[in-house]
Amino acid sequence: QVELVESGGGLGQAGGSLRLSCAGAGRTFSSVAMGWIRQAPGKEREVVAVSSWSGNTYYADSVKGRFTISRNNAIHTVYLQMNNLKPEDTAVYYCAAQRSPGAVAYTKSYAYWGQGTQVTVSS
């Protein structure tokens, strides 16, 4: 059974930082993309940051220069360092992984999902 378990969400202040972690289990993730997808209240899910199997990264325009994704394949873990937080970053953040390599910018490309962790940024 594949599992993705997020940690590290919570309350942050505008201009501050938070770090999310996601630990995977049940399969090898080194050959597929892992990333973070968020959903704000009343909005559709948005792919925020992705680390592909080859080490390439993808970022949504709204977080470029502020968020950094990294992964440690040895322990099946992906991280999201969020700096210079903004109130509009408030959302539930989901860790997600592909079942096989594919386009990384689309939420439908991800077969495995964590339970989500709330990030709230106050102004």
**pLDDT tens, position by position, 45-81:** 999 999 998 889 999 999 999 999 999 999 999 999 9
Alpha helices in the chain (DSSP H): none
pLDDT of residue 48: 98
Alpha carbon distance 36, 72 (integer Å): 15
106 CB burial (10 A radius; 0-12, 13-18, 19+):
exposed
88: number of CA atoms within 13 Å, CB side?
Answer: 6
Alpha carbon distance 13, 23 (integer Å): 25
Q: Looking at the predicted structure, is the pLDDT value of residue 30 above 90?
A: no
pLDDT of residue 24: 93
pLDDT of residue 3: 94
Task: Tokens for 121, please give them.
Answer: 């940024």
Instruction: Tell me the three state secondary structure of residue 74.
Output: helix
pLDDT of residue 54: 84
Mean pLDDT value across residues 35-40: 97
Alpha carbon distance 1, 79 (integer Å): 22
